[in-house]
């Protein structure tokens, strides 16, 4: 995930010196991924757009605190993940509940699902969405967004052990739900 | 990224589940971010105001101190006129009024 992008480092330095136009480079580079991460958590295109915007504005406002030489990606991913988790907590149905493993995932907005080309993708998506909330989010970040344990821990402000634990539980459930598709794969 | 064969297979099939916003959506979000930053960004007038605001405040404080100082001095002067002895000389004789 680490990438030494001299243009990125230069853009950050320019923004820190007051050149707001340099922020376009960072927005263009990370926007697609940021929207995808937000969407994966809230499962709603409109909310994902709002969250992406909020994350970039927040990052810009705090760019002075950003350490030179660090990649921008993990920082913006962390901001958007936290914003999305907060949004999830504040949704009406989770109003008086914390996000725990005891709650089934129930947040899909079917009208905004990406077009899935085949049955396998639909089955995987459904299986992930049926997982309890934290397992669902961790599984999505790991399997769909392809972040490793350490990155997910940083993005969600939890320990790596917590991520591994959620993934282990998610794996067990996904293995059961998708047994007919992946029965031949060794453990 | 993982040694788990099940997750590896699942991951290769799940990759396509990543949300792909279209160009129009991306352009719209970019425009919204830009609009926010422009609103948040200070204008030249804001910068000048930010520079001059403390100067004006300092000048106002100095003016206030000067006004108070002047009025204190004046009131002391008034008192001193009353308190000062007055000497009147008439036809070679002097009379003193006061302490």
What is the interface pTM, i.e. ipTM, of the complex?
0.80
* A16-20, A84-88, A168-172, B1-5: least confidently modelled range: B1-5
Q: In A62-159, which ranges are continuous DSSP H helix?
A: 72-90, 119-129, 133-139, 149-156
Same domain membership, residue B30 and residue B48? no
Mean pLDDT confidence for B12-41: 90
CATH number assigned to the domain comprising residue A58: 1.10.1740.10
Burial of B79 (0-12, 13-18, 19+ CB in 10 A): exposed
The reported pLDDT for the residue numbered B26 is 96
Of B5, B19, B36, the CB nearest to A36: B19
In terms of domains, do B47 and B24 share one? no
Q: State residue A3's pLDDT score.
A: 64
- Confidence grade of residue A117 (pLDDT, cut at 50, 70, 90): low
- Please indicate, yes or no, if residue A1 is contained in any of the structural domains: no
Residues in chain B with CB shorter than 8 Å from the CB of A40 are 18-19
Q: Are residues B75 and B90 in the same domain?
A: yes
Q: Are residues B60 and B97 in the same domain?
A: yes
Domain membership flag for residue A30? yes
Give the domain range for residue B10: 1-41
Per-residue confidence (pLDDT) for residue B98, from 0 to 100: 63
B18 and B37 within one domain: yes
B47 and B10 assigned to the same domain: no
Range of the domain at A28: 6-182
Q: What is the pTM of this model?
A: 0.72
Q: Kindly report, residue by residue over B41-58, the tens digit of the pLDDT.
A: 655 555 566 567 778 888
The SS3 call for residue A108 is coil
Same domain assignment for residues B31 and B64: no
Residue A187 within any structural domain of the chain: no
Structurally, chain B folds into a number of domains equal to 2
Q: How far apart are CA B28 and CA B31, in angstroms?
A: 5
Q: At A103, is the pLDDT very low, low, confident or very high (cuts 50, 70, 90)?
A: very low
Nearest by CB: A186 against B5, B11, B37:
B5
Q: What is the overall mean pLDDT for chain A? A: 87
How many degrees, rounded to 5, is the angle at CA B12 between CA A126 and CA B27? 75
Contact B14 A121 (CB under 8 A): yes
Nearest to B7 by CA among A47, A55, A133, A141: A141
Instruction: Report the C-alpha gap between A68 and A56 in whole angstroms.
Output: 18
Number of domains in chain A: 1
> Which token pair is A154?
């940083």
Q: Domain check: are B86 and B54 in the same one?
A: yes
- Whether the CB of A76 is below 8 Å from some CB of chain B: the reply is no
- In this structure, the answer to whether residues B56 and B21 fall within a common structural domain is no
Is residue A135 included in any domain, yes or no?
yes
């Amino acid at each position: 995930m680490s990438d030494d992008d001299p243009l990125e480092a230069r853009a950050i330095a320019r923004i820190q010196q007051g050149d707001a136009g340099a922020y376009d480079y960072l927005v263009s580079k990370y926007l697609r991924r940021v929207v995808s991460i937000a969407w994966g958590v809230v499962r709603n295109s409109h909310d994902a757009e709002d969250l992406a915007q909020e994350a970039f504005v927040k990052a810009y406002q705090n760019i002075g605190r950003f350490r030179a030489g660090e990649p921008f990606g993990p920082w913006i991913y962390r901001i958007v993940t936290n914003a999305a988790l907060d949004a999830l907590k504040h949704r009406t149905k989770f109003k008086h509940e914390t996000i725990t493993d005891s709650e089934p995932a129930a947040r899909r907005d079917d009208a905004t699902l990406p077009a899935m080309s085949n049955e396998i993708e639909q089955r995987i998506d459904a299986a992930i969405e049926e997982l309890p909330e934290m397992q669902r989010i961790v599984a999505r970040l790991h399997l769909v967004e392809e972040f490793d344990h350490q990155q997910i821990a940083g993005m969600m402000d939890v320990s790596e052990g917590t991520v591994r634990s959620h993934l282990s539980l998610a794996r067990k459930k996904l293995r059961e739900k998708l047994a007919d598709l992946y029965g031949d794969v060794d453990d | 990224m993982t040694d788990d064969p099940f997750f590896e297979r699942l991951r290769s099939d799940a990759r396509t589940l990543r949300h792909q916003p279209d160009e129009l959506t991306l352009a719209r979000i970019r425009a919204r971010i830009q609009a926010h930053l422009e609103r948040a960004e200070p204008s030249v007038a804001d910068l000048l105001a930010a520079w001059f605001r403390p100067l004006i405040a300092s000048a106002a404080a100095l003016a206030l101190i000067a006004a108070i100082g002047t009025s204190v001095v004046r009131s002391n002067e008034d008192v001193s006129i009353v308190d000062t002895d007055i000497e009147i000389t008439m036809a070679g004789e002097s009379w003193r009024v006061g302490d």
